[in-house]
Amino acid sequence: MFHRDPLRTRNGMEKLLLTPEDAADLLSIGRSKLYELIGDGRLASVRIDGSRRVPMSALVEFVDSLKETWNQLPDVGPARRRRD
């Protein structure tokens, strides 16, 4: 079964903008949660006419912000794992 690469166009070029569905898939969240993050201003997006798109750079910034928040949590002993 063929699975398309959400990060590449049909001719193999790297995508700069992703559909909400592809962005949600890359973050391993649902589409509703993605729209919630956009609505809260935590994830940047753009509109092209009637279509919503999420810049790849916005996904990277969002994940980086999650890592920063995680690393700023107080150390609570062995139960807290540090993920880099």
pLDDT at 75: 64
Two tokens at 83?
A: 């993920």
Residues 14, 7: Cα–Cα separation, whole Å? 6
Average pLDDT over residues 46-53: 97
pLDDT at 6: 74
Q: Which of 78, 25, 22 is nearest to 54 (CA)?
A: 22
pLDDT at 31: 96
Cβ proximity of 17 and 54 under 8 Å: yes
Two tokens at 78?
A: 């062995």
